[in-house]
Amino acid sequence: MPVVSLPVRISGRNLVWRRLALDYIRGDPDWDNGNYSKPFRGWIQAYQLLRMMIDGVPHLPALVADGTAADKFLADAAAQSAGGDANDALYSLKASGDYDPEPRLDAMRTKVFALNFGDDEFNPDSLQILQTRIARVPQGRWIVQPGSPASFGHLTMAHPALWADKVATFMQWLEGRGN
């Protein structure tokens, strides 16, 4: 059950932010080729960029309504970055650089239930990529859960209470109890 992903090569806004994040980290002299000993500006900026990119479009204006709120958002993201490892982020971003399941979608022989969120700007529903590509998966289904004031765009994935009912639907289908 893929959540917040598209069955195509990473491109567009998702690819651009990844390149920026890689450059912020590797371009900072304090990264020291991965041998850093304290948080550094390139990692903090990459993390701030990530937080901005993954938050929901409707949610972010409510959260960041003015300059003071923007400063708080950035300060909170900077503080959150201390809990992460820049080298892990680099590895993750580089490891997914050649992600492209599209050429073999029609060869999949298992049930696939893809879930995306309508307010996820990494995987914009307006492009209809999920709908058109998952149709090529013999046992593929999809749902795009609409965004709401309670959702967080791409980051909704970190709030499973908002989409647990979709997992239940998938499990019923796997067990042969659902359509």
Domain ranges of the chain: 12-95, 102-174
Q: Under DSSP, is residue 6 helix (H, G, I), strand (E, B) or coil?
A: coil
pLDDT value for 63? 87
Question: What mean pLDDT, rounded, does the chain reach?
Answer: 93
Token pair for residue 35? 């041998």
CA angle 16, 21, 27 (to 5 degrees): 120
Q: Is the pLDDT of residue 79 over 70?
A: yes
Q: At what angle do helices 41-54 and 86-95 cross, to 10 degrees?
A: 50
The whole-model pTM stands at 0.84
Token pair for residue 151? 């959702």
pLDDT value for 103? 97
160 CB burial (10 A radius; 0-12, 13-18, 19+): exposed
Q: What's the mean pLDDT in 143-157?
A: 91
Q: What's the mean pLDDT in 66-73?
A: 96
pLDDT value for 179? 66
Token pair for residue 170? 């998938």
Output the CA–CA distances (angstroms, integers) from residue 37 to 31, 40, 45, in the order listed: 8, 9, 17
- In CATH, which of 3.60.10.10, 3.30.360.10, 1.10.3720.10, 1.10.1740.110 is domain 12-95? 1.10.1740.110
